[in-house]
Amino acid sequence: MPRTAERRHKHERVAELLDRHGLEGVLLSRRCNFAWYTCGARNYVGTACDVGNSTLLVTRRDGTCVLTTSIEQTRLRDEDLKGTDIEVFGWSYADAADRRKVLGEAIGHRQVAADVPLPDVDAEPLPEDFDRLRWTLTDGEIERYRALAGDVTDAVETVARTVEPGQTEYEVAGEASRELVRRGCLPWVLLVGADKRLEAHRHPLPTGKPVRTYVMVATCAEREGLIAACSRLAAFEKIWGELAQRHRGVVTVDAALIRSTQPGVTLGDIFAEAQKAYATAGFPDQWQFHHQGGSIGYLPREVKAAPGCKVEALDRQAFAWNPTIAGTKCEDTILCRESGPELLAPPTDWPMLRAKWKGFEIDRPAILER
């Protein structure tokens, strides 16, 4: 689907929401919403922010425009939104009166909702069901997602193949950042854990500790708004019995999670299946020490699976499951489809384990022995 047609389709989704809630427009400042509607435009400068510096105004009849400062106006107009029908209105960044004037002229007396409170704007909170508009992916988004997942996987595996004993976790993280950014991917999450730290911590932020025996590289990385997740482990000696058993357990749980990711199945039921798989693998309590993942898309996790969660998986929705057992983990980005779950990243020559759950079989990444 060409991006012009994709934006038109998304406008129709927003228009239906406006009709349901008796609204005349929405103001979208969060990165996830801005990127979703524009098919990847960036409304931020600080990469750690959730709320950007530019706001989309989407109305039922008058289309869409961007409201921003004079600083961001030229970049958005000449680069990210070039060739679109989205007009960019700017105000002098140092002139509060000019800001109020531009906002007032654009919004007028419309009844609008906003995804974050905005100074000098009378808007109600964005309806909760707006988030669901992001969850069902278009053909164009799926195509971009496959390319992104492939690049993120390639970057993580490249680093895991080349890390050397004695390098610090910081150095490994630096290499991972380099490999991701050179592929046009922005890391939102970057974890590097080695040896005992990896066994002790499920979210091992990198430190100056040197890598000795084995290491994990994990990331959630963005391109054009979409975010893909991937984790890989590499060892510098033959995998010993206990770690091999744990990793075999992790891929079993991952197979259970992937098998259960079907349209109409609740995230609570998927979570319950993971609990059964942990028990079957011999690690009944390990699910308590880390969340199991959930839906992904324009956020690192849109909804995390939890006991009793009533949110249902949707056809054409992306998921990233991340089961862990102390010292090991398994994680990739998948697509929920009526025809069955699909791994978004293409197969690689990474060593694999055949994981099985209730008649379902799938190859999942082993620990690379170097």
Q: What is the pLDDT of residues 123-147, one digit of tens each?
A: 999 999 999 999 999 999 999 999 9
pLDDT bracket for residue 62 (50, 70, 90): confident
pLDDT of residue 347: 81
Q: What is the pLDDT of residues 325-356, one digit of tens each?
A: 999 999 999 999 999 999 999 889 999 999 99
Find out if CATH 3.90.1150.10 is the number for domain 3-135: no
pLDDT of residue 317: 98
**If you average pLDDT over residues 81-86, what whole number do you get?**
96
Domain 139-369 fold: Creatine Amidinohydrolase (3.90.230)
Query: 121-147 burial, b if ≥16 CB within 10 A, otherwise e?
Result: eebeebbeebbbebbebbebbbebbbb
State how far the Cα of 326 lies from the Cα of 32, in Å rounded to an integer: 32
Q: What are 139's two structure tokens?
A: 């053909």
pLDDT of residue 136: 98
- Locate all alpha helices (DSSP H) within 206-342, ordered by sequence: 241-260, 267-280
Q: Is the CB of residue 302 less than 8 Å from the CB of residue 284?
A: no
On the question of a common fold for 3-135 and 139-369, the answer reads no
pLDDT of residue 149: 98
Kindly tell me if the per-residue pLDDT of 1 is higher than 80.
no
State the burial class of residue 227 (Cβ atoms within 10 Å of its Cβ: 0-12, 13-18, 19+): buried
pLDDT bracket for residue 2 (50, 70, 90): confident
Kindly tell me if the per-residue pLDDT of 61 is higher than 90.
no
Q: What is the pLDDT of residues 287-333, one digit of tens each?
A: 999 999 999 999 999 999 999 999 999 999 999 999 999 999 999 99
- Per-domain residue ranges of the chain: 3-135, 139-369
State how far the Cα of 249 lies from the Cα of 324, in Å rounded to an integer: 9
pLDDT of residue 297: 98
How many Å is the maximal CA-CA distance in the chain? 69
pLDDT of residue 98: 97
**If you average pLDDT over residues 31-48, what whole number do you get?**
97
pLDDT of residue 240: 87
Q: What is the pLDDT of residues 145-163, one digit of tens each?
A: 999 999 999 999 999 999 9
State how far the Cα of 271 lies from the Cα of 292, in Å rounded to an integer: 7
DSSP collapsed to 3 states, 76-95: HHHHHCCCCCCEEEEECCCC
pLDDT of residue 370: 92
**For the whole model, what pTM was predicted?**
0.97
pLDDT of residue 170: 98
Question: How high does pLDDT run on average in the chain?
Answer: 97
pLDDT of residue 12: 96
